Amino acid sequence: MFHLDRGPAIAAVTPGSAAARVGLRAGDVLVTIDGVPLPAATGGKATFAGVQAIHDRLAAALASPPAQLVVERAGRRVPVELPADLGCPSFVQLVPSAKRDAEADGRTVTISSAVAEYARDDDELAAPIAHELAHNILGHRAALRRDRVSKGLFAGFGANGRRLRETEDEADLTGVELMAAAGYDPAGAIRFWNRFGPASSQLIGDGTHRGWRARVTAIAAKVAATRHQP
């Protein structure tokens, strides 16, 4: 489906990005990064760990830009000097599951296929992704561990619950900003959570999050404020 049978290839290039400016194209196969050869295709099979390892190597190269790449394009090898854009380093992965769930572990955002199917359009899908990405950007996992906040059966009670709800509120509002900055309609967050809240007991309503109506009200206010920013 993703044409990775030839090796680790570029699936898409964001318009206006550093990659676009230096002429990288969708379908280019990465051959070397800073002179180090990348593993070739193995029967068209790829693993998430393998892709993650290549990402880590590229991220390390971009820490001292430009990264020196060689890509294969139309049967010939093309050298490319790739500068670095500022961004939020985090993986986003889709996992097959009938459970509507999403999580962030500080490094990776995981969205279940059930959540992806529930979203009616790209703007709605961007909402849970942006929420979880915000957790990673804000360092919530490490902060909660440092504060000894648990996520067990009774996590939603007392000071423990208040601290968890604070992080969820922060992720809601920062997620709206991320959606707008990435070119998505942040109103998609209002539509998504307005439907998702009463339809699911996961992510919402377990005591670690505010009630879905309060969350949607806060998100709507943030969307309105974001639209009025210069």
Cis peptide before 66 (omega within 30 of 0): yes
CA angle 117, 141, 128 (to 5 degrees): 20
> pLDDT tens for residues 9-64?
898 898 889 999 999 999 999 999 999 998 765 555 667 777 778 888 998 999 89
Q: Please provide residue 46's backbone torsions phi and psi, each rounded to the nearest 5 degrees.
A: -135, 150
pLDDT tens for 160-187 read 667 888 999 999 999 999 999 989 999 9
